Structure 1
Amino acid sequence: MRIAVIDDERPARSELKHQLLELLPDAEIEEGDCGAAALELAGSRKFDIIFLDINLGDINGTVLVNALKNMQPGVKIVFVTAYSEYAVQAFELEVEDYVMKPYDKKRLEKVLKKCFAEQTAKPEQEAPKRIAINSNGKTIFEDIQNIVYIETYNRGCMIHAEGNEYYESKSLGEYEKRLEGMQFFRMHKSYLINLDKVREVFPWGSNSFCLRMKGYDDNILPIGRDKVKVLRQLLGC
């Protein structure tokens, strides 16, 4: 069992690690003190569970969830927070559970049992290779690997798939959920991109960055300022 504890407060990390080792003496536990450290750990080794503090110094833990799931589709993510109002957000983001500070060993034990039960009951399924798109009164089955990027368009989405374009009246958030755990990343409120199709990332204006996607050299897509660091980590640049 390999566990990551991500928290910008050293005492909180130490206390959580201590309690986890009392419950799981054989566990290997790695620590990180910020979002960048979380991404570095996730990119270097596989984890079974990541305990992720919501209020990190460099980036909000809720922003990291999709990035970590993209890097490690099978990982269980548990939010760590001192504020009970984040409990609802934890379930909206479909993480496994949350634990409150100060830590309660019985609560931790319950969360760990839940994670183990889900691993046993839900073996990882092979990701789908095609996706159904309802466009212009037809249902098109497009290979997911062909989708380059999806953007908000009118009251729906425009799907750009290697030369083909489809309009569907679904929100970008719905597509983000449908493609969760695959090679896609919401790098801007209006754009969901296929990480495998990024051609280049470059500066644009004052303290801003943009990118181009393969096959769409004339389209310059802005990167959300709060997503630049995470995107660079995902792309290894």
Structure 2
Amino acid sequence: MRIAVVDDERPARSELIHQLLDIIPEAMISEADSGAAALEMMSKDIFDLVFIDINLGDMEGTVLATAVKQIMPKARIIFATAYSQYAVRAFEIGVSNYILKPFDKKRLETVVENCRKELEASCTKPLTNRLPVNCNRRIVLVDIETIVFIETDNRSCVIHTKNGDFTENLSLGEYEKRLSGHRFFRIHKSYLVNLEQIQEIFPWHNKSVAIKMLGAENENKILPVGREKIKELRHLLKI
């Protein structure tokens, strides 16, 4: 589970992260100390749970929550606040829940468990097995399981499949959203890969790692893994 903690006070962030790791030891947690930093972080990663302090230094938490809902509709948002009156506002804008400062671990466990159940329920909904791609004035329905990886190419993306390549004028972040729920992972700002199509992982420059994908046409293609992505990739592959 990927979790974001957004709070402009370091002690509050540290305490919440500590309690979350006690509850979900396997969680991958990122943190931001402002609304702007949070938006930048969320332009690069997708999160399951997002904890937002109501009073951020540069913007209201309610404003950030509204933006997060647009960026990641499936994410569960929880307000972290010292003021219980914000509970009403939370439900008005569709926030999943709220927790009060100082944090109560039992309350946090309940909120996390409820969010986990909601996420699991959403994942049981049927997923489409084909991805529509606009290519040369036609729409090609690509079988998702045939996609090996997707990479950025200037302002477009190239979708590499077992049956050939397709280019479409969409961002990699958009493909990440569309393929949410399938076994795809963004290893780098430029690459989104099918975890089932990874052939090899090996050491790379500056203590990083890189991967090779299945398929003879990809045998000489080396895809670098961002340092901040290595731990999560290993977790997803159970290595």
| Highest RCO, 1 vs 2 (Cα 8 Å, sep ≥ 6) | 1
* Residue range with higher mean Cα deviation, 121-130 or 203-212: 121-130
**Aligned equivalents of 1:185, 1:103: Cα separation in 2:** 37
Question: Relative to 1, partners in 2 of residues 1:90 and 1:137: Cα closer, same or farther, differing over 3 Å?
Answer: closer
4+ runs of 1 displaced by more than 6 Å? 113-116
TM-score normalized by the length of structure 2: 0.64
Instruction: Kindly provide the CA deviation profile for residues 150-174 of structure 1, in whole angstroms up to 9, marking residues without a partner as x.
Output: 0011321110011411111112122
How many residues matched?
Answer: 193
Kindly provide the amino acid, as one letter, of the partner of residue 72 in structure 2. Answer: L
Deviation of residue 103 (structure 1)?
6.8
- Write the mapping of 1:50-65 to structure 2, written as runs, cut at 5 A: 54-55=31-32
Asked if structure 1 preserves the Cα contact closer than 8 Å seen for 2:146 and 2:163, the reply is no
- What is the aligned partner in structure 2 of residue 107 from structure 1? 87
How far the C-alpha of 1:219 sits from its partner, in A, is: 0.6
Q: Cα RMSD over matched residues?
A: 4.0
Tell me if the contact between 2:209 and 2:230 (Cα under 8 Å) persists in the aligned partners: yes
Counting only pairs closer than 5 Å after superposition, residues 125-144 of structure 1 correspond to structure 2 as 125-144=125-144
1:144 Cα offset (Å): 0.5
In the alignment, the residues of structure 2 paired with residue 212 and residue 151 of structure 1 have an alpha-carbon distance, to the nearest angstrom, of 14
Structure 2 equivalent of residue 175 of structure 1: 175
Q: Which residue identity lines up with residue 205 of structure 1 in the other structure? A: H
SS in 1 for 2:196: helix
Aligned CA distance change for structure 1 residues 8 and 198 (closer, same or farther; 3 Å): farther
Contact 2:151–2:191, Cα closer than 8 Å, also in 1: yes
SS in 2 for 1:159: strand
Please give the alpha-carbon distance, in whole angstroms, between the structure 2 residues aligned to 1:212 and 1:65. 22
Which of 23, 27, 31 is the equivalent residue of 1:31?
A: 23
Corresponding residue number in structure 1 for 2:76: 96
Distance 1:149 1:201 in 2: 15
**Residues 1:171 and 1:55: Cα distance change in structure 2 (over 3 Å):** closer
Q: Secondary structure at the match of 2:166?
A: strand
Structure 1: runs of 5+ lacking an equivalent: 18-28, 40-51, 70-76
Superposed displacement of residue 195, structure 1: 0.9
The secondary structure found in structure 2 opposite 1:196 is helix
Match of 2:206, SS state, is coil
Matched-pair identity in %: 31
